[in-house]
């Protein structure tokens, strides 16, 4: 799977507390492996994720950012992921418009029962980012070693 042996991507995963974070826990409970490159940040709801956080992650050296939330219709707060869905659609479209690789950002709906899906999603995302290589277009050289 490893294309470039030297490159280990940095992946930030924002997970909502009620579904996706629990889904990630379930992936652990089921020992469903995915690369250690993925680091999870717990947020109450996908709607808590500000586009600024995503840009910040890229600035600080992330190569890919993924946002996971409850499936539409299942939000713990009833409507949060609907807003997140629109915001992220717009943000991703804008990033792509600016010529930034669209594959670097992703939204995935993962329920608390979908441990296997969580692991599969992360495996796939890490592979995509590994193939894509280092984030150059949204980097801040001052933040790189």
Partner 1 sequence: MQEVMVKRASELMKDGTVSRVLGWKNGEFVYDPTPAVFESAEALSAFVYNDFCASNLSKYLIALSKKNGKTLVFLKPCDSYSFNQLLTEHRIDREKIYIIGLECSGKVDEAKLREAGCEGILSVKTEGEDIVVDTLYGEKTLPKADCLGERCITCKSRKVVAFDEMIGENGEVNSECGRFDQVAALEAMTPDERYEFWRGELSRCIRCNACRNICPACSCENCVFDNPKSGISQKAAADTFEENMFHIIRAFHVAGRCTDCGECSRVCPQQIPLHLLNRKFIKDMNECYGEYQAGAEAGSRAPLVNYTLDDCEPSVVYEREASK
Partner 2 sequence: MRRIGVFVCHCGTNIAGTVDVKAVAETLGKEPAVVFSTDYPYMCSEAGQNIIKEAIKEHKLEGVVVCSCSPRMHEATFRKTVQAAGLNPYLLEVANIREQCSWIHKDKTEGTAKAIVLGRAAIAKVQLNTPLIAGESPVVKRALVIGGGIAGIQTALDIADAGYEVDIVEKQPTIGGKMTQIDKTFPTLDCSSCILTPKMVDCAQNEKITIYSYSEVEAVTGFVGNFSVKIRRKARYVDETKCTGCGVCTEKCPVKNVPNEYNLGMDNRHAAYIPFAQAIPNVAVIDAAHCNKFKTGKCGLCQKLCSAGAINYEQEDTIIEEKYGAIVAATGYNPISVDKYDEFAYSQSKDVVTSLEFERILKADGPTEGHLQRMSDGKQPKTIVFIQCVGSRDTSGCGKEYCSKICCMYTAKHAMYCREKYPDTEVYVFYIDVRTPGKNYDEFYRRAVEQYGVHYIKGMVGKVSPKADGTLHVQASDLISNEQLHISADMVVLAAAIEPDKSARPLATMLTASMDTNDFFTEAHAKLRPVESPTAGVFLSGVCQGPKDIPETVAQAGAAASKVIGLLAKNKLSCNPCVSQSNEAMCNGCSTCANVCPYGAITYEDKDFSRRKDGSMIRRVAVVNEAVCQGCGACTVACPSGAMDLKGFSTSQIMAEVDAICK
- Residues in touch with partner 1 (CB under 8 A): 51-52, 55-56, 58-59, 72-73, 79, 82-83, 85-103, 105-107, 137-142
How many angstroms separate the CA atoms of 105 and 91, rounded?
9
Could you tell which of partner 2, partner 1, none binds residue 93, using a CB distance below 5 to 8 A set by kind? partner 1
Number of residues that bind partner 2 (CB under 8 A): 44
> Is residue 69 within 8 Å of 30, Cβ to Cβ?
no
- Distance in angstroms (rounded) separating the CA atoms of residues 17 and 21: 5
Instruction: Assess 85 for contact with partner 2 (CB under 8 A).
Output: no
**Choices 79-87, 92-100, 101-109, 125-133; region in contact with partner 2 by CB under 8 A:** 79-87
Instruction: State the CB neighbour count (10 A cutoff) for residue 1.
Output: 8
76 binds, among partner 1, partner 2, none (CB under 5 to 8 A by kind): partner 2
């Amino acid at each position: 799977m490893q294309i470039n042996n030297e490159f280990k991507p940095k992946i930030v995963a924002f997970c909502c507390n009620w579904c996706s974070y629990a889904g990630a826990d379930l992936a652990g409970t089921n020992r469903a492996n995915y690369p250690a490159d993925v680091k999870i940040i717990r947020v109450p709801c996908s709607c808590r994720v500000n586009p600024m956080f995503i840009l910040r992650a890229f600035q600080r050296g992330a190569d890919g950012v993924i946002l996971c939330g409850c499936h539409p219709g299942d939000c713990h707060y009833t409507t949060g992921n609907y807003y997140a869905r629109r915001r992220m659609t717009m943000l991703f479209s804008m990033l792509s418009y600016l010529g930034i690789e669209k594959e670097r950002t992703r939204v995935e709906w993962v329920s608390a029962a979908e441990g296997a899906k969580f692991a599969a999603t992360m495996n796939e995302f890490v592979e995509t980012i590994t193939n894509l290589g280092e984030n150059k277009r949204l980097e801040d050289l001052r933040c790189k070693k």
